[in-house]
Amino acid sequence: MAIESNKVVTLNFTLTDDTGNILDSTKDGGPFTYISGKGMVLPKLEEAVSIMMIGTKKQLKLEAVDGYGDYNEDAVQVVGKENFPGDFILEVGMEYMASNPDGVHMPFVITEVREEDVTIDFNHPLAGKTLNFDLELLDVRDATPEELAHGHVHGPNGHHH
Ligand code: ZN
């Protein structure tokens, strides 16, 4: 039975890359929840989960194109240090948000620091990676009108107000 839209879906997952590195997992933070049919998760992931039975497990492999896209070399830029606000800590691994001329927020990570400038990368951290999901569907229930109005899940594994 396929999961319809506007359901709260609760699942456990472990996400690994092709070398077995764990990229993300619900083991530490508890189950993951989303509202179906809202584009809150990768479309291919939602499609795979939508035909699972509660209590079952499934393995899903998504190529980068069905995940977070190919790695884009053009999204890597070298920027002079003088262009950063004074309170930015210019260290490798620091993540910040830039705004493009349209006011769209674009996260980036600092990947290299030199004397005069730094290299920043706008690629999604999972861009270019094959995604291997170990999925376990725990629960499916109707979303409440309040959850649908807010656009997020409430409760123990969801949003707290
Ligand atoms: Zn809310």
Ligand 1 centre to CA of 6 (Å) is 15
What is the pLDDT, as a whole number, of residue 160?
Answer: 80
pTM given for the model: 0.81
Confidence of residue 1 (pLDDT cuts 50, 70, 90): low
Ligand 1 centre to CA of 149 (Å) is 8
Q: What is the pLDDT of residues 52-103, one digit of tens each?
A: 999 999 999 999 999 999 999 999 999 999 999 889 999 999 999 988 888 8
User: Above 70 in pLDDT, residue 122?
Assistant: yes
Ligand 1 centre to CA of 148 (Å) is 9
**CA-CA distances (angstroms) from residue 24 to 15, 21, 145?**
5, 9, 30
Ligand 1 centre to CA of 128 (Å) is 33
